[in-house]
Amino acid sequence: MNPTLKIFGVLLFATLAFHTTLNFMLDNIEDYETVPLPPKPLKKNTATITNPTLVVEAKSKETWTLVSFSTGKSFTVNDLEKQREELKRRDWDLGFQRTKIVTNGGITNPKGKVGVINLGQVDFDSIREVPEGEFIQDSSSFGRRTNKAITDWYNYRTRTHNIESKKNVYIMKTSSEDFLKMRILNYYCSNKEEDCRTMMCTRSEAACLTVEYVSSNHSRNFPATPPPEISMAIEPSAVEN
């Protein structure tokens, strides 16, 4: 065989193998929009959560679960663009699809009022008032719908391929013109995130986001004493269509 043709054949095979591997990787990490390095270990917080929590099952990659924090109700849509009129008519604050989160405002719904401020890793209960600042709404980034304040709420652990919340505290202006302080405590349905640091928690066990939140009750101050713990679960069986 002609040496030039042989070299060409080897290069062609290597190129095809590379693209096959790349496509496989893209298909398997499409849920993850950011892939930062694993975070530095945080001090373990053993305090009991006494604030209300909302558990949102967002396992589907084909539908969005849109949630209203004021009512605890939700509904699903398949396409945020094609069903924009539905987004305008219904009461909702945040939309969840596995690791992805959108808000009822900006490019997702230009008439929506929801925006988010990211306060970072601060003590949740120490936040007693709504800070001054711009509430970020959804925008388009590289052709994707995103909210820059909340899109990187998690770290992706490359060793175990699992998701771990940064436990950032967010202030959200809701669709009912209330304010919430909130943070995502856990991403898994039956496991704790710390358990997934040493083992691979499968996708079927993932995307049940536990969200801790406190309402300001239409003021700019959050209650000093948290209300009794209230837990609500948003699951497919509870979704309004």
Q: How far apart are the C-alpha atoms of 120 and 63, rounded to whole Å?
A: 29
pLDDT at 101: 97
The residue with greater pLDDT, 120 or 231, is: 120
* Long-range contact pairs involving 46-51 (C-beta distance under 8 Å, separation at least 24): 49/185, 49/212, 49/229, 50/226, 50/228, 50/229, 51/124, 51/212, 51/213, 51/214, 51/226, 51/227, 51/229
Structure confidence by residue, pLDDT tens digits, 66-82: 999 998 899 999 999 99
Please report the pLDDT score of residue 193 as a whole number: 85
What is the Cα gyration radius of the chain?
Answer: 21
Closest C-alpha to 126, from 178, 76, 183: 183
Residue-wise pLDDT for 26-68, tens only, equals 444 444 444 343 443 434 444 467 899 999 999 999 999 999 9
Per-residue pLDDT at 36: 41
pLDDT digits (tens, 9 = 90+) for 191-220: 888 888 877 788 888 999 999 999 999 999
CB atoms under 10 Å from CB of 230, counted, come to 11
pLDDT at 90: 93
In the beta sheet, which residues pair with residue 105?
A: none
- Three-state secondary-structure class, residue 21: helix
Tens digit of pLDDT for each residue in 81-108? Answer: 999 999 999 999 999 999 999 999 999 9
- DSSP secondary structure, 175-196, as one string: TTS-EEEEEEEEEESSS-GGGG
Q: What's the pLDDT band for 225 if we cut at 50, 70, 90?
A: low
Q: What is the pLDDT of residue 87?
A: 93
pLDDT in tens, 142-189: 888 999 999 999 998 887 788 999 999 999 999 999 999 999 999 999
Two tokens, residue 141: 């980034």
Q: What's the pLDDT score for residue 41?
A: 40
Q: Note the pLDDT of residue 165.
A: 95
Q: Identify the pLDDT of residue 46.
A: 43
Rounded Cα gap, residues 112 and 104, in angstroms: 5
Place of tokens 């998701």: 163
pLDDT of residue 98: 95
What b-and-e string marks burial along 178-199, b requiring 16 or more CB atoms within 10 Å of the CB?
bbbbbbbbbbbbebebeebeee
pLDDT score of 8 more than 70: no
Euclidean distance between CA atoms 44 and 225, whole angstroms: 23
